[in-house]
Amino acid sequence: MSKLSNATSLGCLYLIPNTLGGEDRAIQLPRVIPTEILKQIASLKNWIVEDAKNARALLSAVNQITPLSNSLQSMQMNEWRGPQSKNKTGLKPHELLEPIMRGEDIGLMSEAGVPGVADPGAEIVYMAHQLGARVKPLVGPSSILLGLMASGLNGQCFSFQGYLPVDAAERSKRIKQLEQRSKQNHETQLWIETPYRNTAMLESCLGSLSSQTQLCIAVDLSLQSEWIWTAPVSEWQNRFSNPVAMNAVLKNRPAIFLMLA
């Protein structure tokens, strides 16, 4: 029997959106995830997650809105942090998807945002396709898309770069390379940073980019404390002339950086 003809007997891999930032999930969920999606999340028993403790916290918040079909204690929950990390179970992607072969659905959940986009999970999704199972992405917040939408920069041509180098000299070199690429292709460049290094990243941007290059930083996306600003680098330099001013906005807050030369 072919994979396609066998698909109806297999379970479905649901790609589960998670909340962004540290705001209370029970407060945030009704605002960022549709009710029908919450109902689908509440119906699942089998899970592949980055961190079981945090996954249970999200499901507990979902339960306050839409009762779970299965107790947290009865759920099958395996951790997966990508092929380069040591997941506790030691299971490979096809082994983690074993319930799908029995006709049972599985939820794949990231720590924040959506699986497979700036988060682990692509290997699991690819294996589900190889098995012939249906893959269903569910609607939820993605900092990359939200930031791009709100930036006013080119949303027709863009490139996500993940994390830039930690070393200051290498980081500045990479920023200059991305600026040149942006200028050549009229392509918006996006990247993220570990929150405690946000100020260092902004300092590198202001010291490396041309004054007319457009820079956007979007902080705490989808939260009540959300802050987004797009302006030429020269205006950023005037407004944020020292680390104290930068820290007041950026320190230890999830942020995405966008640039268009």
- Are residue 251 and residue 184 in the same domain, yes or no? yes
pLDDT at 38 over 60: yes
Q: Which of 86, 111, 137 is the last residue of a domain?
A: 137
Any idea what the CATH number is for the domain that residue 185 is in? Answer: 3.30.950.10
CA distance 225 to 249: 10
pTM of the model: 0.89
Q: Looking at residues 210-218, what average pLDDT do you find?
A: 98
- Are residue 25 and residue 105 in the same domain, yes or no? yes
Kindly tell me the sign of the dihedral angle through the C-alpha atoms of 233, 239, 242, 248. negative
Any idea what the CATH number is for the domain that residue 125 is in? Answer: 3.40.1010.10
Question: Which residues have a Cβ under 8 Å from the Cβ of 94 and sit 6 or more positions away?
Answer: 127, 130, 131
- Are residue 179 and residue 236 in the same domain, yes or no? yes
Backbone angles phi, psi at 136, to 5 degrees: -125, 105
Tokens of 222: 């989808």
Q: How many domains does the chain have?
A: 2
CA distance 155 to 23: 28
- Are residue 125 and residue 64 in the same domain, yes or no? yes
Q: Looking at residues 6-32, what average pLDDT do you find?
A: 88
CA distance 169 to 173: 6
- Are residue 178 and residue 118 in the same domain, yes or no? no
- Are residue 129 and residue 196 in the same domain, yes or no? no
The residue segments making up the domain with residue 54 are: 3-137
pLDDT at 216 over 80: yes
- Are residue 216 and residue 90 in the same domain, yes or no? no
Question: pLDDT tens digit string along 115-172?
Answer: 988 888 999 999 999 999 999 999 999 999 999 999 999 999 999 999 999 999 999 9
For residues 37 and 65, is the Cβ–Cβ distance under 8 A?
no
Helix (H) or strand (E) holding 143: helix 143-151
pLDDT at 105 over 50: yes
Q: Which of 239, 228, 174 is CA-nearest to residue 204?
A: 174
Helix (H) or strand (E) holding 53: helix 52-63
- Are residue 63 and residue 117 in the same domain, yes or no? yes
- Are residue 63 and residue 167 in the same domain, yes or no? no
Sheet of strand 76-79, all strands in order from the earlier edge strand to the far edge:
76-79, 46-49, 106-109, 12-16, 134-137
Q: Which of 137, 166, 199 is the last residue of a domain?
A: 137
- Are residue 128 and residue 193 in the same domain, yes or no? no
pLDDT for the residue 88: 60
- Are residue 57 and residue 37 in the same domain, yes or no? yes
Q: Which of 96, 119, 137 is the last residue of a domain?
A: 137
